[in-house]
Structures are given as C-alpha cells and as structure tokens.
Structure 1
Amino acid sequence: MHDSKRGSQRRASTSPWKYALATWLAGVLAAVGLGAVSPAGSALRSSLGLSGGALAWATSSITAVSAVLGIPAGWWVRRFGAQRALSWGLLVMSVAAVSSATAGSWGLLLGSRIAEGVGYLLVFVAGPVVLTHLTQGGVRSAALALWGTCVPTGLAIAAATGGALASWWTWNQWLALTAIGPLIMAGVLTTVLPRLPRTAVPCTHREAGTWNGALRLGVAYGSLSLVGVAVVMVLPPFLTEHRQATPAVAGTAVAVVCLGSAVGGLAAGWLLRRGLALSSLVPLGVLMPVACLPAFSAECPLAVSVGAATLVLVGDGLLISAVFAAVPTSVSRPEHVDVANGILNQLGSVGILMGPPVFGLVIAAAGWGAIAAATLLFGGLGTVLLLTTAPTSATGSAAGVSQSPEAPEGRDMREGSDPSGKAADFSKPDRTRP
C-alpha cells in the first residue's frame, strides 16, 4: 500500500504544469461567464425591457456575491476540499448559465446571475489553493502569477466571441453557449487532478496577526483591481466623447487594453519562473500613473492614447499576478491559504465594484487629467502594500508555505533544502493532517 502511494505521487509529479494549466483554464472559463452579459446587453435590454441600471445589476451581481461572501467561502473551501469546490463551482456556473439563457424576466435573470456568482466565487477561491497544493518552488510562483491572468483573458474572450456572434445568435443562445465550457471542464478536472484530501483544522489558531499579511494583500488586490476596472470602464466614453472615435473603434480599443492585463500577468509568471524576486516586480507599478497622462490626453494621437492605456493595464496585470504569487508567503500555516484567497476575492471584488463610481466622481470634479492622480493614489497604495508583503528574494517566494504531501516533487531545489527536495517547514510541528 505504501508503494502504491509512492507510485501515485510519482505519477502526479510528471508534469505539474499540466495541473496548473488545467486549473488556469477553469478560471478563464469562469471569467467568460463573468463577462457574458455585456456583449448581449443591447439584445437583453430590448428583449426583457430592462433599464440601464437593471442591466448593470445583472452584469455586476456575480462580483457582488464575491464582495459579500469571499471570506466565508474561504472557510467553506477549507472544509469541503479545494479540488471538489473547484469542480462544483464550475458545475454551478454551468447550471446557472442555462437558467440565465432561459430567463424571461429581470428577476429570474438576476437570480440566475447571483447563483452563477456563487459558482464563480468557489472557482476563484479554490483555484489558487489547488495550485498551491500541486506545485512548489518556482513553478508555484509562476503558476499563481498565471492565475492572475484568468479574469482579463476570460473577459477578452467573452467580449470577442460574444461580439462576433451578436449578429448571428440570440442572447439566449450565447448565454447557453457559455454553460458548455464550465460543464466540460468540471468533468476534466475530476479526471485529471489528483484527489486532494479535505483539511481538518481546529479553530484554535486565532492569535493576533494571523491574517495581517493576507489582509494587506487583499487591500492591495482591491486597490489594483479598482484601478484596472475603472480605466477600462472610463476609456470608451473618453474615446467617443473627446476623441470622436466610433463605438466600434472604442470597443476594439477596450479589447486590446484588456489583453494588456493578461500580457502583464504572463510577464510576471515568466519572470518569477526565472527566479526573479516578487519584490523586484513591484517598482514597475510606477508605469500606471505615468501612462495615464498620455492615455487620457486629447492632444496625443489616438494610437498613442490606446497604447498608453494598454501599458496601464500591463502594469496593473503584472502587479495583480504578483499579489496571487505572494499569497502562500502571507500566511503562517499551509491550511490558511484557502481563507487567504477568500480575503483576496472579497476585497478585490469590493475594489471592482467601487472603481467605476470612484473614478466617475474624480472625473466630474477635476476632469480627465485627474485620472492619473487617482491612479497614483490607489495604484500607489496597492504597490506599497504589496512591497511590504512580498518576499525580498527569489527563494522566499516559495518558502512561506511548506510543500504539501500532494505537491508534485518539482526539480527546483531551494537553498537549505534536504536531499529529498522538501523545504524546511516551520509549520510541521503543528500539522493536523491525518
């Protein structure tokens, strides 16, 4: 039996990136559901007789669920098991998307989107936990940074695909299509991912400072998310009203800008995989307020403005990926990672909800030029908090959470590790896993 267990671990260790990419794809498909309503907005308003405000609620209700239930979801994922929560979250999203596609009123649509938000929350709390369990060392940092690209990648796919199908398909058919991917992926993950045991953790470890690191990262994530979503939301009216761009040009520009966030996240993963310290990425945050100046200037050529806005999102995406990569080092015990991810999702969702109205007030009070100042304020806050939390060395980026028994034995050997490849584990004396 012991040999069989060792054999199972050897099979699991063959390709940690296989598990990382499968988990990442689950997050991307969940993010497609997040952005599914926007491409069909006009058709939905016409079909169901919705006002702009009602449509906005249907669009943002998924994020609102995370803003309210992120931390409780972290506790629940800890007890239910991250792998099962990830698959069940996808399944809930699939069923809710079908319900949205058949909704005949705003109430049914809103209820379906709220249910989809529950599944979305499970995916985005459990996904990083699965990655933390199944990877280690440089692979872990890079995989968690890659996870930070899920939302912009999924939103870009939803915008491009939904926009292309808008003139051919009804909104019902489009929303039904978004249910297929999560359903298939739930089955794939059940087959592909190694089974992760549930963690039985007594509720006695509540010493002062337990969640300080996770809270700092959560506020950093919320501040950076606020900047990213606000820039994306205010860019179209700026281009159409002050640059005389057509709606089609503005829509294309937004898609390009959104992809900038994914590019930033991929760059973060590549740099971390090559051993760069997390703290070394943080100073790149200065790009955001500087790039906002030409991005929202009426004197710059349109291409320059769009390129500068893309650079803002590149910096934002890079720092958001660094936030996810820093989560394992922000907690003192491996079993706290799921709750830490719940904190991140809750505070990040608050930032997403606050971003457009906050920037709208800034623009109304001081004009478009004040966007750079608002970006400096909120982006600077996120950058400083990330700098005070992120590891200061490449080796530190993997050492905060010990290698779990389920993690594939990567080929990365950290300084101070023993020949078996296990890192020094300061949490071993308190391990409660059976």
Structure 2
Amino acid sequence: MTRQWPSIIMLWLIGVLAAAQFARMAVVAPLMRTTLGLTLSQAGWLISLLEVGGALFGFVAGLALARVSVHRFLLLGLAILAGTGLVEAIATGATTLFVARAAEGIGYLFVVIAAPTAIAATASDAIRPRALALWSTFVPVGIAAGAAVSGFLLTVTSMRGTALVWVSLVVASGVLVARFRIAGSAIHAIRLPAPAAWVSTFGFGLYTIFISALTMLLPSFLIEQAGATMGQSALSAACASLGVLPATAAAMLVMRNDRMSARRSATIAAVSLLAAVPFVLALYRIDGLALLTRAALAVLAVTVSGLVPPIVFARLPQLAGATTPDDPRIATANGLITQFGAGGALIGPPLGGLIVGWSGWSGLGVAASLLLIAMLAAFVLAEMIGAGAARLSVGYAAPK
C-alpha cells in the first residue's frame, strides 16, 4: 500500500509544476510590460490565459482522455508545456507571446486532467480519498513555488534564463514520466459521469469564484481599507492562498482509515462553509479593523472553507458512478471539474470587481457569503443524488 505513495506524489508534483506556470508569468509580467510595451490589462490576460483551455475545453478533454491512454495524455501535456515555454522564452513580440500562452493552456489542461485520473487508478481503495485530497492542493502549492522560484531566478539570471529553467524542469518531468508505467492507461470507452458529479463539480466552480475573488482582490482591499503597503498586501494574499494547506491536512486526517461516506462529507461541508460566513462578513463589513486583523480574517476564511476542495476531489470517483479505479467516468468527471474550476477562476476576480463597483467592499462580503451558502446547497444535493443512486446499485462507487 505504501509503495503507491511515491507514484502519487510524483503525479502531484507534476501538477504543482504545471500550476507554477501561473506565478512564473505573474512574476515576470512587470519586466514583459517594459520590454514588450504591454499594458496592465494585457499583462493580466497573459497571466490568466493559462486557464482558458480548461474553461473552454475541460469537459471535451475529459471525453478525449477516455479514448487516449492516460500516459500519452500526460506526456502530450508536458510536451506542449515545454514547447510553448520555449517559444515564450525566445518571443520578441506580444502576438507570439499571447498565442504561445494560449497554447500553453492546452498543455496545462491535459496535465491537470490526466494526473488526477492516474492518481485515482494508482491508489488503492484505502488511500484513494487521501491521495485525491492531496491533489486538490496542487494549485496553491504550485503558485507559491512558482513565485518563490521565479523570484529567486530573476536575481541570478535574465527573464529568458528564468523561462528556460522552467522549460528544463518540465522536460525533466516528461523524461521521468516516460520511464514509468502510469496506471489507468487502458481506457477505451466514453462514459458520462453520473448526475451527482455534475452537481458537485458545479459547486466546486462556485468555490473557485469565491476563492479567486477573495484572494485576487485582497491586496487591493487591504491597501484601500487598511492602509497596507504593496509588500504587506502581497504577503497577506500569499498567506491567505496557502490557508488551504492546513485545511487539506485536516481533511486527510479525517479520511485516514475511513472512506468518506455521503453523510460525513455533507456534514463536514456544512460545518466548513457555514463557519466561514462570519469570517467573510467580518472581513468586509466591520470598519476600523487593523491590517493584521483583516489579514487574519482572510486566512481564516480560506482555511475554514478549504476543507471542501479535498472532500470534493476525494468523493469525485464515487459521485461520478465509477465502478473500477480506471473507470472512464473518472476521466470525464476530472474534465468537468477542470472546466467549472477554470471558469470560476476566470470570472471570479472581474465579477468581484463589478460587485465592489456597484455596492462597495461590504457588498462583496454579502455576495461571498451567499456563494458559500450556494456551494453548500450544491454539495448536499450532490450527496443526496449520489446516495439515491447508490441504493439502486452496489459497486465501487457506493458510499458507506
């Protein structure tokens, strides 16, 4: 059983490497604005284009994965990441850079669908929930690692050198993947996930709207409302983003030696999301709070609500109706959660900005709290649908 963890951690690290490309571009964006004459808006789009592939083609890619081996899909994604990263490193014009970044989003999409599908097929029943809970952390860990590594590299080499180091890391990971047999490589049929997975992944999309609006707009909020400096606001946002890590550790502890049942997962989601509401309302609606207090409230809101993503990923194979570890419904469900998650990440910050423009920061607090309630409704409904389906058929997916 323990021999499965090295492969699972390798797949998780590949996801972390892919997610690091968000922060890599964010860190070098100010230099690109100078060298290529990009506007602030263009720089923002250059960063977020990595999610366009998932937002547009996540579910389609999940269907395609059901017809292509997971191993090949993962290698293809890494090859696209390496190739587009190389083009970005040598690009001298904005048009080339934007086209390469959009294509890079397709490689990112392939990796983040194939890797969790392989994890689900690799892990035994006893550790699968914890393995998928670990996978749920790949984005915040990747962003933190990408920012730290890119910032260091820029102090010792050029912008092009930094990009080439990342390309080298992607190529090395591709060589590593090519040398290992990846589980779940014999998927030949297309099967749609069960209705419960659609509802659950929609709820996850609501979560990404909530979390991206909160964390991405937090620096602006702290500067305007708490007099924070740029450095203080950036540090606060980073700490808030990493708040999901202790939550994931707690979720994995709860899952230890116990497959997550429908009742248990719904109960944890209810406690987590309802407990986050007071922190969100206090963050945005109480005047006169000190910077440290507001930053702590943001971290607490992310940490408490952060119990939900690992549970969603852990429960996804069961809610999708999978009957075996390599059931094609796991691949299509991963495509679905990628589509909703990427779409939420794309619209979260601009939607939050619109709400602030209409009703101020306090309005964002109300909207974020309503999102938490809507998430809870979606997750509870998904578990009810899944439990009903489980009573009709007993198999791998049946909740206890």
Same fold (TM over 0.5): yes
Q: How much has 1:378 moved relative to structure 2?
A: 1.6
Does 132-141 or 162-171 show the bigger shift? 162-171
Number of the residue aligned with 2:301: 312
Kindly tell me: are residues 190 and 271 of structure 1, through their superposed partners in 2, closer, same or farther at Cα, counting changes over 3 Å? farther
What is the DSSP-based 3-state SS (H/G/I as helix, E as strand, rest coil) of the residue aligned with 1:232? Answer: helix
Matched residues, number: 385
Question: Are residues 1:83 and 2:71 paired?
Answer: yes
Given that 2:68 and 2:188 are in contact with CA atoms closer than 8 Å, whether structure 1 keeps it comes out as no
Q: How much has 1:318 moved relative to structure 2?
A: 2.1
Number of the residue aligned with 1:322: 311
Query: Of 93, 96, 113, which residue of structure 1 is paired with 2:81?
Result: 93
Number of the residue aligned with 1:16: 4
Distance 1:332 1:232 in 2: 33
Question: Are residues 1:229 and 2:209 paired?
Answer: no
Kindly tell me: are residues 89 and 238 of structure 1, through their superposed partners in 2, closer, same or farther at Cα, counting changes over 3 Å? same
Kindly tell me: are residues 173 and 309 of structure 1, through their superposed partners in 2, closer, same or farther at Cα, counting changes over 3 Å? same
- 1:261-410 to 2 correspondence within 5 Å? 261-275=244-258, 277-283=264-270, 284-296=272-284, 297-333=286-322, 334-390=327-383
Q: How much has 1:355 moved relative to structure 2?
A: 0.4
Q: Residue type of the partner of 1:271?
A: V
Q: How much has 1:265 moved relative to structure 2?
A: 2.3
Q: Residue type of the partner of 2:268?
A: L
Distance 1:327 1:186 in 2: 27
Q: How much has 1:98 moved relative to structure 2?
A: 1.5
Distance 1:85 1:316 in 2: 32
Given that 2:122 and 2:184 are in contact with CA atoms closer than 8 Å, whether structure 1 keeps it comes out as no
Kindly tell me: are residues 368 and 267 of structure 1, through their superposed partners in 2, closer, same or farther at Cα, counting changes over 3 Å? same
- 1:30-429 to 2 correspondence within 5 Å? 30-194=18-182, 196-201=184-189, 211-275=194-258, 277-283=264-270, 284-296=272-284, 297-333=286-322, 334-390=327-383, 424-425=395-396
What is the DSSP-based 3-state SS (H/G/I as helix, E as strand, rest coil) of the residue aligned with 1:199? Answer: coil
Distance 1:167 1:88 in 2: 32
Q: Residue type of the partner of 2:362?
A: G
Q: Scaled by the length of structure 1, what TM-score is found? A: 0.83
Given that 2:133 and 2:251 are in contact with CA atoms closer than 8 Å, whether structure 1 keeps it comes out as yes
What is the DSSP-based 3-state SS (H/G/I as helix, E as strand, rest coil) of the residue aligned with 1:138? Answer: coil
Q: How much has 1:294 moved relative to structure 2?
A: 3.3
Distance 2:371 2:209 in 1: 8
Cα-to-partner distance string for 1:276-326 (whole Å, 9 max, x where unaligned)? 632232021123322123333442221121111112221343211211111
Q: Which has the larger radius of gyration?
A: 1
Given that 1:33 and 1:97 are in contact with CA atoms closer than 8 Å, whether structure 2 keeps it comes out as no
Kindly tell me: are residues 14 and 84 of structure 1, through their superposed partners in 2, closer, same or farther at Cα, counting changes over 3 Å? farther
Q: Residue type of the partner of 1:154?
A: G
Kindly tell me: are residues 172 and 329 of structure 1, through their superposed partners in 2, closer, same or farther at Cα, counting changes over 3 Å? same
CA RMSD of aligned residues (A): 2.5
Structure 2: segments with no counterpart, 5+ residues = none
Instruction: State the identity %.
Output: 25
Q: How much has 1:106 moved relative to structure 2?
A: 1.2
Q: How much has 1:36 moved relative to structure 2?
A: 1.5
Distance 1:169 1:257 in 2: 29
Kindly tell me: are residues 34 and 381 of structure 1, through their superposed partners in 2, closer, same or farther at Cα, counting changes over 3 Å? same
Kindly tell me: are residues 308 and 174 of structure 1, through their superposed partners in 2, closer, same or farther at Cα, counting changes over 3 Å? same
Distance 1:137 1:106 in 2: 48
Q: Residue type of the partner of 1:243?
A: A
Q: Residue type of the partner of 2:111?
A: V
What is the DSSP-based 3-state SS (H/G/I as helix, E as strand, rest coil) of the residue aligned with 2:243? Answer: helix
Distance 1:426 1:347 in 2: 22
What is the DSSP-based 3-state SS (H/G/I as helix, E as strand, rest coil) of the residue aligned with 2:242? Answer: helix
Cα-to-partner distance string for 1:184-230 (whole Å, 9 max, x where unaligned)? 122222324445432222x6x67xxx542221122111100011111
Kindly tell me: are residues 253 and 425 of structure 1, through their superposed partners in 2, closer, same or farther at Cα, counting changes over 3 Å? closer
Distance 1:226 1:373 in 2: 14
What is the DSSP-based 3-state SS (H/G/I as helix, E as strand, rest coil) of the residue aligned with 2:157? Answer: coil
Distance 2:342 2:222 in 1: 26
What is the DSSP-based 3-state SS (H/G/I as helix, E as strand, rest coil) of the residue aligned with 2:186? Answer: coil
Cα-to-partner distance string for 1:239-291 (whole Å, 9 max, x where unaligned)? 12221211111111111111112332232222222426322320211233221
Cα-to-partner distance string for 1:166-185 (whole Å, 9 max, x where unaligned)? 44433222222222222212
Q: How much has 1:107 moved relative to structure 2?
A: 0.9
Cα-to-partner distance string for 1:347-403 (whole Å, 9 max, x where unaligned)? 11111111011111111122111222111222222222122324899xx9xx99x9x
Kindly tell me: are residues 169 and 198 of structure 1, through their superposed partners in 2, closer, same or farther at Cα, counting changes over 3 Å? same
Distance 2:397 2:255 in 1: 23
Distance 2:70 2:123 in 1: 14
Distance 1:237 1:227 in 2: 16
Number of the residue aligned with 1:411: none
Between structures 1 and 2, the one with greater helix share = 2
Distance 2:32 2:119 in 1: 37
Distance 2:397 2:289 in 1: 54
Cα-to-partner distance string for 1:27-72 (whole Å, 9 max, x where unaligned)? 1001001222111121110010001121122111110111001011
Structure 1: segments with no counterpart, 5+ residues = 1-12, 403-422, 428-434
